[in-house]
Structure 1
Amino acid sequence: MYGNPPDLPKVMAETGQKTFQLTFIQAPRGGGGCTPTWDGTAPVSEDTAVARVIDGVRSAGGDVSVSIGGYGGRNLGQTCASAEDTANAYQQVIDKYALRAVDFNLEEPAYSDPGAVTKELRAAQILQHHNPGLYVSVTTVAAPGGTTPQGQNLLNTAKSLKFAPDNYSIMPFNGFQDVGAQIAVLEAFHGVLMNTFGWDSATAYAHEGASLMNGRSDFGEYYDQADFQALLDYAIGHGMSRYTFWSLNRDRQCTPPDNGQTSGTCSSVPQNPWEFTRLTAQFAQRTPALKAGVAVSQPVPARLPAQADQGAGR
């Protein structure tokens, strides 16, 4: 079991959170290839453990999305021969789990490979065409100007392809010291979306999302419940379409509450269990399903450190 995952139906009952995003689908480690795997190690075609988790969530009245990519892994767009092959590989995941939503989490190293980015986005466009009603989001990196040059290339590539995902989310942590800086970068990204796609303000907000990190970040920033509440108010007040965080596994207090380290299983801030998740549930109550969430690692085979991410990837 990776990351000490909680029991999702139990969390659902205690918080009202209904949607979860499982991460990450990647290319096989080592030899590469065009076969979808969980975390680069366990072929989706052989999976039974994640399928049981999904069945449990759906039996309790919820649903899941799946996140593709993630930091440090190899996207299938880097290893498949074409966009069509990449889409066929991701289609296997959609068919296996009867998915209604997917998230393309585009970070390093795929993020800096323009060819891979083009294949990923074209694959996403193909999936939209072949799966009517599929909710497609793109999660990527934040920077003080809204996004990085690589992120701007991603947006420009989507525009050139005439690819229109339902949402673009950025991750305003790791370098953003407080909630004011987080809101500022979301405002900057809002401007980037308007300028890139020619959208008016309301349309840009309706395609914008935030993927947060609860408690202590990788860079040692601390984001507490009040920060998340301020961002929740901002997201709802501006008509944003996603509000997510990494991760549900971390949505509980460490012992001691702060040991000066970033943990994958606790938040490093004083809290009761699932306080951050309850905020995503509030957002979900005001938006369509599968647009809000939290990250959480799931019980899977030892070789499969897959994660469940209620609504956004990391």
Structure 2
Amino acid sequence: EIGAAKILQQNNPGLYVSVTTAGTADGTGWFGKQMLLEAKSQGFTPNNFSIMPFDGGFSGAASQTSALTNFNTILQSTFGWDQATAYAHEGFSGMNGRSDTGEYFSQADFQTVLDYATSHHMDRFTFWSLNRDRQCTPADNGGRTSGTCSSVTQNSWDFAKYSVKFAGVTPPTGTPTPTPTPTPTPTSCKTAWNASAVYTAGDEVSYGKHNWKAKWWTQNETPGAAEWGPWQDEGAC
């Protein structure tokens, strides 16, 4: 994977490359450290290495910022970077609300880690995941972790706003008004398809309230009857 990422980086100047690995109280575990050593041996430097400080005995923001501090030390020792350079190549990927192992990370925890990330000029701040950034019913989801809501009391998109702030943008204070979908102008139907007629490439007909265009010579082949048939669906009419 490191080799593949290096190739992508080399072949696509300006491509943003972030490598995410597990987080532990020490920063990252044996597998994460082996990954860093592999990156060093290949001379690969992405925009950042990020850790996920959750599902590992974490409890709130203090344990997460401690892990980020320890991970910074690992980056320094592995690549020979000074502290500021290591932070400039470090990222955070959290989990909003209740984690898989029952840890809880509130909006206040996200704010604390955001303050840490911005004050140390880290390169990335994100979370797992946007589709969980809404309140469950009931709010605590019966003490369970959900893949579609956070299991904590919140307004929709509360946690996403911290990523928006990290990007240097002021998040909206309310829910945006959705742009109405314009009503499509109905398309008139072509002459009805006739089973006995001969059609050649480009001829247009209507069948089943859709317009169809012939891709080649055809006769008595019902439009839409075969996926790879002679008729191209041009949409409803």
Aligned to 1:270: 153
| Aligned equivalents of 2:25, 2:157: Cα separation in 1 | 30
The one-letter code sitting in structure 2 at the alignment partner of 1:169 is S
What's the CA shift for 1:238?
0.5
| Aligned equivalents of 1:151, 1:245: Cα separation in 2 | 19
Q: Which runs of 5+ in 2 are unaligned?
A: 170-237
Displacement over 6 Å in runs of 4+: none
> More deviation in 187-196 or 175-184?
175-184
Q: Which has the higher contact order (CA 8 A, sep 6+)?
A: 1
| Aligned equivalents of 1:213, 1:161: Cα separation in 2 | 31
| Aligned equivalents of 1:267, 1:144: Cα separation in 2 | 23
| Aligned equivalents of 1:128, 1:179: Cα separation in 2 | 33
SS in 2 for 1:123: helix
Aligned to 1:234: 116
Aligned to 1:100: none
Aligned to 1:169: 50
1:284 equivalenced with 2:167 (yes/no): yes
Structure-to-structure mapping, 1:200-279, within 5 angstroms? 200-258=82-140, 259-279=142-162
Aligned to 1:46: none
| Aligned equivalents of 2:153, 2:40: Cα separation in 1 | 43
What's the CA shift for 1:217?
0.2
| Aligned equivalents of 2:59, 2:23: Cα separation in 1 | 13
The one-letter code sitting in structure 2 at the alignment partner of 1:212 is G
What's the CA shift for 1:179?
1.1
| Aligned equivalents of 1:190, 1:130: Cα separation in 2 | 28
The one-letter code sitting in structure 1 at the alignment partner of 2:115 is D
| Aligned equivalents of 1:282, 1:202: Cα separation in 2 | 21
Aligned to 1:142: 23
Deviation by residue 1:184-231 (Cα, 9 ceiling, x = unmatched):
100000000000000001100000000000000001011000000000
SS in 2 for 1:202: helix
| Aligned equivalents of 2:118, 2:106: Cα separation in 1 | 19
Q: Which runs of 5+ in 1 are unaligned?
A: 1-119, 287-314
Structure-to-structure mapping, 1:35-46, within 5 angstroms? none
SS in 1 for 2:17: strand
What's the CA shift for 1:156?
0.4
Structure 1 or 2: more helix by fraction: 1
| Aligned equivalents of 1:240, 1:148: Cα separation in 2 | 20
Aligned to 1:155: 36
SS in 2 for 1:275: coil
Larger Cα Rg: Structure 1 or Structure 2? 2
Of residues 125, 131, 140, the one that matches 2:12 is 131
Of residues 188, 191, 197, the one that matches 2:70 is 188
SS in 2 for 1:240: coil
SS in 2 for 1:173: coil
Deviation by residue 1:57-88 (Cα, 9 ceiling, x = unmatched):
xxxxxxxxxxxxxxxxxxxxxxxxxxxxxxxx
| Aligned equivalents of 1:143, 1:273: Cα separation in 2 | 29
> More deviation in 164-173 or 175-184?
175-184
Structure-to-structure mapping, 1:92-107, within 5 angstroms? none
SS in 1 for 2:167: helix
Q: TM-score, normalised by structure 2?
A: 0.69
What's the CA shift for 1:248?
0.9
The one-letter code sitting in structure 1 at the alignment partner of 2:158 is E
Q: TM-score, normalised by structure 1?
A: 0.53
Q: Number of residue pairs matched?
A: 167
The one-letter code sitting in structure 1 at the alignment partner of 2:122 is M
SS in 1 for 2:144: coil
